[in-house]
Amino acid sequence: MGFNVAVVGATGAVGGKMIEMLEGTTLPIDNVKLLASARSAGKTLEFKGEELVIEELTEDSFTGIDVALFSAGGGISAKFAPAAVKAGAIVIDNTSHFRMDPNTPLVVPEVNAHALKGHNGIIANPNCSTIQMMVALEPIRRAFGLSRIIVSTYQAVSGAGAQAMEELKIQLKDAIHGTPLNELEANILPCGGDKKHYPLAFNALAQIDVFAEDDYTYEEWKMVNETKKIMEDDSIKVAATCVRVPVFSGHSESIYIEVEKDGVTADDIKRVCADFPGLVLEDDPANQIYPQAINSLGRKETFVGRIRRDLDDPKGFHLWCVSDNLLKGAAWNSVQIAEQMYQDGLLKK
């Protein structure tokens, strides 16, 4: 007997990828219910060759649902996730709403699957940029300890949604046809609402989300706080600079770390990374082999390379990390959590 699965936000970029990941999941599934706003109700999406009708999301949508995958914005999760839990479903939420709730596990299955045992009906999916960094750093942390992380991200526009992707396409076209770069029309980035907007085409925006405490953006604070929660270590020093770049999909990160053990070499780090589940080592400078965003697309794995020692600190190392932000950074990690729960006997009919 299989499970009944609901996808909330089925028409979004991540929702579409969730449906795609469910088509190949090891989780036994009987039925999939697609949920979205009223304006999408009645439309259809394909699942395993069958056209499924999208239903309007209401608090009564979760009767008979075993697993509900949410990716429709924090406000939607805040309103409807409790209703799903009340109806008996386990919620796996891809928004930021529950991530720092002390009673909600924040899970990357390769890193802290044990945290799933403490759920109260809701499991939070971490931020896309945090997820790939956790996969890249966990084998290093386990083998050698970690005392400091400094990360700079190069985040794809798909992380900002379909409208941002479309605006970048228009900007690129206009720029190629002669519109001055500083005159390109911009209505979305670096963040929504009534804030200032700047073109992303041929540009890099050192702001993702709005600025918050100590002039770090919310995106940067997410990486700091989520890292400490997932690794269950508030003593790790973490700092982030999050940058939006004109790449459509695939996040890249430059990460500096300091390990705790003495005598660790770059080859030691390469060895533990090569053996870690879900992590692919691509590190051959002599042949110009290193992770690239375009090569991560459609892949569930996280890729790491350019691993090298710091020139001044013997415990310091630099690395380059890449992942498909819509898959491992969102949809795949969510489905993977459900698979892990089933495997561990935490998901039952």
Query: Percent of the chain, pLDDT > 70?
Result: 100
Burial 98-134 (b: 16+ CB within 10 A, else e): bbeeeebbbbbbbbbbebbeebebbbbbbbbbbbbbb
CA distances from 58 to 4, 80, 138, 260, 277 (A): 17, 8, 39, 50, 38
Mean pLDDT of the region 207-211: 96
What is the pLDDT averaged over residues 57-72?
97
Cβ-based neighbour number of residue 2 at 10 Å? 11
Q: Is 114 an active-site residue?
A: no
**105-111: average pLDDT:** 98
Per-residue model confidence as pLDDT tens digits over 129-183: 999 999 999 999 999 999 999 999 999 999 999 899 999 999 999 999 999 999 9
Q: What is the pLDDT of residue 195?
A: 85
For residue range 256-282, what is the model confidence (pLDDT) as tens digits? 999 999 999 999 999 999 999 999 999
Supply the pTM of this predicted model. 0.96
pLDDT at 193 over 80: no
* Domains assigned to the chain: 3-125+330-343 (3.40.50.720), 130-325 (3.30.360.10)
* pLDDT at position 139: 98
- Amino acid letter, residue 155: Q
pLDDT in the model for residue 302 = 98
Quote the tokens at residue 304: 């790491």
Q: Work out the average pLDDT over 319-336.
A: 98
29/343 Cα distance (integer angstroms): 14
Per-residue pLDDT for 94 more than 90? yes
pLDDT at 1 over 90: no
> Among this protein's residues, is 197 annotated catalytic?
no
**Cβ within 8 Å of residue 49, ≥6 positions away:** none
In this model, does residue 121 exceed pLDDT 90? yes
Kindly report the backbone phi and psi dihedral angles of residue 340, in degrees, each rounded to the nearest multiple of 5, phi listed first. -65, -40
Catalytic residue among 242, 251, 273, 321: 251
Is it the case that residue 328 has pLDDT exceeding 90? Answer: yes
**Both tokens assigned to 345:** 């006997």
pLDDT recorded at residue 348: 82
DSSP category for residue 54: P
Per-chain mean pLDDT for the chain:
97
Average pLDDT estimate for 191-209: 93
Catalytic residue among 97, 128, 273, 321: 128
**Which pLDDT belongs to residue 146?**
98
